[in-house]
Structure 1
Amino acid sequence: MPTRLLFIEPGGCHDTLNIKLIEGAKAHKQYAALSHCWGSNQPLRTVRENLTQFNKSIPWPDLPQTFQDAVTVANSLGISYLWIDSLCILQDDFLDWERESSQMANIYENAVVTIVAASSAGDSDGFLHPRPEIPQGTVMLQPKKPGLDATPVRFRGRLDHYDDSRLQDPLEQRAWAFQERLLSRRTLLYSTHELRWECNQLRLCECRHNSLTSRANSSHPYAIEPSLSAPPTRTDIYAHWHLQIAKRYAKRKLTKPEDKLPALSGVAHRMSRLLDDQYIAGLWRNDLFGGMLWQTETNSPPLSKPRSYRAPSFAWASVDDAITYHLYTLMKYINQSSEILEVFCQPAGLDPFGQVEKGHMVLQGPLVSARD
């Protein structure tokens, strides 16, 4: 269980619900988690100063609209416990934040459902609101066989649900939300246009175009393991990490650039179980040559160096830009003529998958001129 959870006391209308912060060990039932955009103004968060008060009660009017909507959804589902990062992690205590963020994989994996406020750009926006109309109508189909009556058929415009490069929902652009989606067993997603359900077995949407579609579909972007008819090999898993996870994650935005690695640490922890490999700032020790074949999508203007150290320069986590792995797909045609003599990466804290303090690599191989 998470260290802390919000307890929604049963009974009463939504605007009279009593909410308080409790120790996770005292929770006796399953909990829901919230995935959300904080926004530029975070009106409510837990700090040392208000922790004692929040343990007693958090006034309903003090909750921003997105939090109120999440409580409403959880309460409607009969779920009495809710995890919200900004309220369940002490925001002015670095050690508490580091400890809890390192448990992100367990928190989202163990939630009975993750409520995804995809359409909300900030916590004051909310997500339970009227949605734009989608073109729909009725046409009459006239049978070719004489004597049969025409049949009315309703139609509705289709949405590109799962190609996150096209989705315009604010949360789809945020880096932290990416791993929250991957780690969750079940998600209830409130998008701009419709409500969607995803789990390991199927995906459902209001327009029904993608209903009853197995998550084993290889086009699904939110899967930690590659979707193949046969059990994936290590090569398959490495390729999936580079071409699907790292590539999709790198283009997302962060409020704090230093969160580049912590915001993916939960997924990296899960992946390490599959690979039994050493994690090195977004890359893997036994696939370093392949992992270093990344390129930035931006050619001009030149990328500026991050203000604070984040990762060694051979790792894509060292830059703020979308990346590609075009050369990785050609690995089988590349003759490896270099050898890695040494690689070192020191975590900045307790989480081996989190922030990096320093790192280096020693290579041996032929040299060529990079410029004329």
Structure 2
Amino acid sequence: MAQVYRGAALTLSASYASADSEGFLKHRPLLHSTVKITSSSGQSAEIYLADRSQLMENWPWAGPECNVIPPLDTRGWCLQECYLSNRQLKFLNTKILWSCRDMDFDEGMSDRLEGALVIRGTGKHFTYLFRGIQKPRHRSMSLLTPYSSWYNMVSEFSRRSLTFASDVLPALSGLAYEVAIHDNGKYCAGVWWEDIAFGLCWKKSETLKPASGSNGYIAPSWSWASVIGPVEFVNSKDVMYQHTPITVPTQVLFHDFWIQNPGSNPYGQVDDACIKLDAPFISLQGKNKNTLCIPAIVSSGGRIEITFDFEEDKQRDNLSALFLLRRLPHIITSDNEEVMLFGLVICPVSSPSQNYGHLEVEVTTRFYERVGFIQIWISLNEECKYWETPNNFIILV
């Protein structure tokens, strides 16, 4: 179906239809009412009045009465259709939205094209995914990773619903294929090998549920596709407002990955997957599961924030912090300047599979799964001590 939308001249979207049996050509109130006024000098003019809730329908910033999400914009499969469509007409309750490669236009705006706005559900085309993967033209954009557009799209997708949890990767497979052939990228169960450190650094923004299909497996623990619910990536919101980029430390080495798909589509469902990497990590300690910390960081005045993927993960034993990204301060005047580190909370597991394809797995290899996301604020002086610890060769599953 992805090729159908990619090749179509125009896509018509019945945005408020809750089922395919419902139509979209229905009676709707006039957007404008005309009032003729006459001045004291005898000059007359017509004024057009419009109901605010109708004029600003589907404008999330205009207030709760205007921020009603159409049923079509809550469906996971429909996001891919929106991105892939060359041109789209979205029929809302009171107006029509036009979207194409060059612009978006809201019927509630002025008749002049200069009044065009990017409205939710439009203006997020495949062209913008390409644009995000190309070299940025502005310094502010250079603070984002090459796949920032992909992460933003995934964050929106994670807020939509799917009838079957097993559809989470297939519902984006068409987009993943197009991005891969455009940039020659290697797809890893929802993230990209060329930007893997950023792809792993996601966190929940609401309470999540484990994603499971008929065989109980949807995606590896390190992939956002392994959970059901809204997620956010480290670089998708706040980096534009920072003065320094987030980088991958030289001590973090990603060696290889292995993905096993049930069929011939490398962008669809996944049966098994793992990542082989080298990086230093440190044990988490605490009097109880609600006070986990890294004592050396806390004692030196650092701060720690942990977000577990699921509440039950707090009860796991032998948890460690695996840091993958860092952000330096904008201006460094002393060793006491604050650095931010981002990474994963991981837990040791027994080898879950006997087959890892082309990956070389030693008898002494340690396996871990992701159970959460961690970020810390620490001084430059203390951070140096962390990176001086020996690297650990591990496999994330």
In the superposition, the TM-score normalised over structure 1's length comes to 0.61
2:47 to 141, 153, 175: 153
* In structure 2, C-alpha distance between the alignment counterparts of 1:227 and 1:312, rounded to whole Å: 24
* In structure 2, C-alpha distance between the alignment counterparts of 1:320 and 1:210, rounded to whole Å: 41
Q: In 1, are the aligned partners of 2:75 and 2:160 still within 8 Å (CA)?
A: yes
Q: In 1, are the aligned partners of 2:204 and 2:230 still within 8 Å (CA)?
A: yes
2:253 to 339, 342, 351: 339
Q: Indicate the SS of the match to 2:128.
A: coil
Letter in 2 for 1:120: A
Q: Relative to structure 1, is the Cα distance of residues 356 and 298 closer, same or farther in structure 2, using a 3 angstrom cutoff?
A: same
Q: In 2, are the aligned partners of 1:202 and 1:214 still within 8 Å (CA)?
A: no
> Which residue in the other structure is 1:325 paired with?
233
> Which residue in the other structure is 1:169 paired with?
70
* In structure 1, C-alpha distance between the alignment counterparts of 2:174 and 2:160, rounded to whole Å: 16
Letter in 2 for 1:303: K
The percent identity for this pair of structures is 25
Q: What are the equivalent positions in structure 2 for 1:238-317 lying under 5 Å apart? A: 238-243=147-152, 245-299=153-207, 303-307=209-213, 308-317=216-225
Residue 119 in structure 1 maps to residue 27 in structure 2: no
Q: In 1, are the aligned partners of 2:148 and 2:235 still within 8 Å (CA)?
A: no
Q: Indicate the SS of the match to 2:281.
A: coil
> Which residue in the other structure is 2:281 paired with?
367
Q: Relative to structure 1, is the Cα distance of residues 167 and 200 closer, same or farther in structure 2, using a 3 angstrom cutoff?
A: farther
Query: 1:285 offset after TM fit, Å?
Result: 0.4
* In structure 2, C-alpha distance between the alignment counterparts of 1:286 and 1:218, rounded to whole Å: 31
> Which residue in the other structure is 2:382 paired with?
none
> Which residue in the other structure is 1:26 paired with?
none
2:270 to 344, 347, 356: 356
> Which residue in the other structure is 2:124 paired with?
222
Residue 192 in structure 1 maps to residue 106 in structure 2: no
Q: What are the equivalent positions in structure 2 for 1:126-137 lying under 5 Å apart? A: 126-131=23-28, 133=29, 136-137=32-33
* In structure 2, C-alpha distance between the alignment counterparts of 1:173 and 1:140, rounded to whole Å: 42
Q: Which has the higher strand share?
A: 2
Task: List per-residue Cα deviations over 1:235-289 (Å, max 9, x = no partner).
Answer: 664111112x111111110011111011111111111123211011110001000
> Which residue in the other structure is 2:134 paired with?
232
CA root-mean-square deviation = 3.4
Say which is worse superposed, 305-314 or 208-217, in terms of deviation: 208-217
Q: In 2, are the aligned partners of 1:117 and 1:191 still within 8 Å (CA)?
A: yes
> Which residue in the other structure is 1:84 paired with?
none
Q: Relative to structure 1, is the Cα distance of residues 204 and 333 closer, same or farther in structure 2, using a 3 angstrom cutoff?
A: closer
* In structure 2, C-alpha distance between the alignment counterparts of 1:252 and 1:122, rounded to whole Å: 16
Letter in 1 for 2:47: V
Q: Relative to structure 1, is the Cα distance of residues 228 and 246 closer, same or farther in structure 2, using a 3 angstrom cutoff?
A: closer
Query: 1:356 offset after TM fit, Å?
Result: 0.9
Q: Indicate the SS of the match to 2:17.
A: coil
In the superposition, the TM-score normalised over structure 2's length comes to 0.58
* In structure 1, C-alpha distance between the alignment counterparts of 2:162 and 2:133, rounded to whole Å: 34
Q: Relative to structure 1, is the Cα distance of residues 227 and 350 closer, same or farther in structure 2, using a 3 angstrom cutoff?
A: closer
Query: 1:113 offset after TM fit, Å?
Result: 1.5
Q: In 2, are the aligned partners of 1:199 and 1:215 still within 8 Å (CA)?
A: no
> Which residue in the other structure is 1:23 paired with?
none
Q: In 2, are the aligned partners of 1:203 and 1:215 still within 8 Å (CA)?
A: yes
Larger Rg, first or second structure (1 or 2): 2
* In structure 2, C-alpha distance between the alignment counterparts of 1:339 and 1:345, rounded to whole Å: 19
Query: 1:361 offset after TM fit, Å?
Result: 1.3
Query: 1:141 offset after TM fit, Å?
Result: 7.0
Q: Relative to structure 1, is the Cα distance of residues 343 and 286 closer, same or farther in structure 2, using a 3 angstrom cutoff?
A: same
Q: Relative to structure 1, is the Cα distance of residues 333 and 236 closer, same or farther in structure 2, using a 3 angstrom cutoff?
A: closer
* In structure 1, C-alpha distance between the alignment counterparts of 2:193 and 2:5, rounded to whole Å: 27
Q: Relative to structure 1, is the Cα distance of residues 227 and 293 closer, same or farther in structure 2, using a 3 angstrom cutoff?
A: closer
> How many residue pairs were aligned?
263
